[in-house]
């Protein structure tokens, strides 16, 4: 009878020496650790497989969108492409500067003469959706 089978029976467990009990306990602990690491490794493999499949699907989607856009630009005349570029360029940056200056002055409760806007840089939006929602709820909260 193996050590593990002997540890199952209470009468055999009482007759075992301290060394046998310690060795059996170490075996059980190592078996438990091995099971946990195996489960974690399987989770790692599953997550990596899902990541690869999702990235492939995303790449296919981006490629199809790029093909559609390329087909649209090839069918358009150069004059139409130039018109689109001209529409995207803002006509009057001074108006944007004036609006931003007025908004900053209003939030600081000061005059626009005390504020000088030297540079306006768009910051890429990296806030997750839940963060945006929380900010919107805080701004729209009625007290």
Residue 119 vs residue 140, higher pLDDT: 140
Q: Is the distance from CB of 41 to CB of 48 less than 8 angstroms?
A: no
Q: What is the average per-residue pLDDT within 24-46?
A: 95
What token pair was written down for 76? 């358009």
Rounded distance, CA 7 to CA 60, Å?
Answer: 57
What token pair was written down for 90? 């803002």
Residue 83 predicted with pLDDT over 50: no
What token pair was written down for 74? 């090839």
Return all residues near 101 (Cβ < 8 A) that are at least 6 apart: 112, 115, 117
Give me the helices (H) in the chain, please.
3-8, 10-15, 18-75, 78-88, 93-108, 129-140
What are the pLDDT digits (tens) for 98-110? 888 888 888 888 8
Residue 63 predicted with pLDDT over 60: yes
Residue 3 predicted with pLDDT over 50: yes
What are the pLDDT digits (tens) for 91-138? 567 787 888 888 888 888 888 888 877 777 777 788 888 888 888 888
pLDDT of residue 90: 53
Residue 99 vs residue 46, higher pLDDT: 46
- Give me the residue spans of the domains in the chain: 3-85, 90-140
Q: Is the distance from CB of 92 to CB of 82 less than 8 angstroms?
A: no
18-45 in b/e form (b: 16+ CB < 10 A) is: eeeeeebeeeeeeeeeeeeeeeeeeeee
């Amino acid at each position: 009878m193996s050590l593990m089978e002997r540890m199952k029976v209470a009468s055999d467990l009482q007759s075992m020496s301290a060394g046998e009990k310690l060795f059996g306990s170490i075996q059980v602990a190592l078996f438990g650790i091995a099971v946990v690491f195996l489960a974690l490794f399987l989770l790692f493999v599953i997550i990596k497989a899902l990541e690869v499949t999702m990235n492939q699907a995303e790449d296919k989607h981006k490629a199809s969108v790029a093909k559609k856009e390329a087909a649209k630009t090839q069918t358009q005349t150069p004059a139409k492409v130039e018109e689109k570029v001209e529409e995207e360029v803002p006509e009057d940056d001074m108006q944007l500067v004036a609006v931003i200056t007025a908004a900053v002055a209003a939030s600081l409760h000061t005059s626009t003469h005390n504020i000088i806007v030297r540079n306006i840089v768009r910051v890429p939006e990296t806030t997750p959706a839940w963060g945006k929602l929380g900010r919107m709820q805080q701004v729209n909260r009625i007290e």
